[in-house]
């Protein structure tokens, strides 16, 4: 069955360091992969999208890589700040499924000052 | 645009009662998704619509759950009868077409079934 895996353990890092979150998937051929941020009591908010034919995408302090051979995406936040503390969700969209979007369970990030 | 609007924000109901959750997507968006989020299971896709037509409802847990989209600006998710295990946060999201394929989420409805 299709599965998206994110590290269920929270990630604790010091302010200024780079946070790296992992998303692995199985039995899936995504047309594109997205990363979202979710704060407590709020809905997820879109951050970045990377397509199947792209290796890397950047936006300000954020960087996403996409390896369709390894079936893995890495999400990096450089120069992390306490305001980056949130849950980060990986999402995949499959063209054969009409681009229905499936989410991983998310990884909680804590950035300490 | 005010974004995706869901109502109510909170709902507390007794087991066995009917619950109806409502969603108004962003104007011009042609895809609408209903998700359920719990600590144990994360964000689960229940059903999604393209151009008001249900495309995939394989995530709907049981026959007690039903969803409709009578027009492009309104959708409902109904649970009848409700059970305590249905307690969760239910999110509606909408998405446009073309290269802008991000999903926009509503604030969610926190459902508690006692």
Decide if A21 contacts A13 (C-beta within 8 A). Answer: no
Strand partners, B19: B79
B103, containing H or E segment: strand B103-105
Decide if B90 contacts B111 (C-beta within 8 A). Answer: yes
State which residue of chain A sits closest to B50, comparing Cα positions: A98
Residues of chain B with pLDDT under 50: none
Beta strand pairing call for A11-14 and A107-112: parallel
Q: In angstroms, what separates the C-alpha of B26 from chain A's closest C-alpha?
A: 15
Verify whether the Cβ–Cβ distance B103 to A42 is below 8 Å.
no
How far out from the chain centre does Cα A77 lie?
11
Verify whether the Cβ–Cβ distance A101 to B43 is below 8 Å.
no
pLDDT in tens, A32-56: 999 999 999 999 999 999 998 999 9
Full 3-state SS string of B50-87: ECCEEEECCCCCCCCEEEEEEECCEEEEEECCCCHHHC
Decide if B20 contacts B6 (C-beta within 8 A). Answer: no
> Does the pLDDT at position A30 exceed 90?
no
- Those residues of chain A whose CB sits closer than 8 Å to some CB in chain B are 32, 34, 42-46, 49, 89, 91, 93, 97-106
**What's the pLDDT score for residue A46?**
96
> Does the pLDDT at position A3 exceed 90?
no
State which residue of chain B sits closest to A95, comparing Cα positions: B101
Verify whether the Cβ–Cβ distance B101 to A93 is below 8 Å.
yes
């Amino acid at each position: 069955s299709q599965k998206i895996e994110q590290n269920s353990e929270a990630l604790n890092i010091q302010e200024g360091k780079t946070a790296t979150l992992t998303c692995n998937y199985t039995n899936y051929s995504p047309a594109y992969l997205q990363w979202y941020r979710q704060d407590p009591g709020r809905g997820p908010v879109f951050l970045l999208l990377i397509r199947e034919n792209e290796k890397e995408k950047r936006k300000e302090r954020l960087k996403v890589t996409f390896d369709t051979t390894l079936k893995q995406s890495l999400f990096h936040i450089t120069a992390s700040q306490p305001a980056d503390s949130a849950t980060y969700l990986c999402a995949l969209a499959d063209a054969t499924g009409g681009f229905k979007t499936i989410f991983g369970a998310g990884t909680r990030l804590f950035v300490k000052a | 645009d005010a974004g995706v609007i869901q109502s109510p924000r909170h709902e507390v109901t007794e087991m066995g009662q009917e619950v109806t959750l409502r969603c108004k997507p962003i104007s011009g968006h042609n895809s609408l998704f209903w998700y359920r989020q719990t600590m144990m299971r994360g964000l689960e896709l229940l059903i999604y619509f393209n151009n008001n037509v249900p495309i995939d409802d394989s995530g709907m847990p049981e026959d007690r759950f039903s969803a409709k989209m009578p027009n492009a600006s309104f959708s409902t998710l109904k649970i009848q009868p409700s059970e305590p295990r249905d307690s969760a946060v239910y999110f509606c999201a909408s998405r446009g077409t073309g290269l802008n394929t991000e999903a926009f989420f509503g604030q969610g409805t926190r459902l508690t079934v006692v």
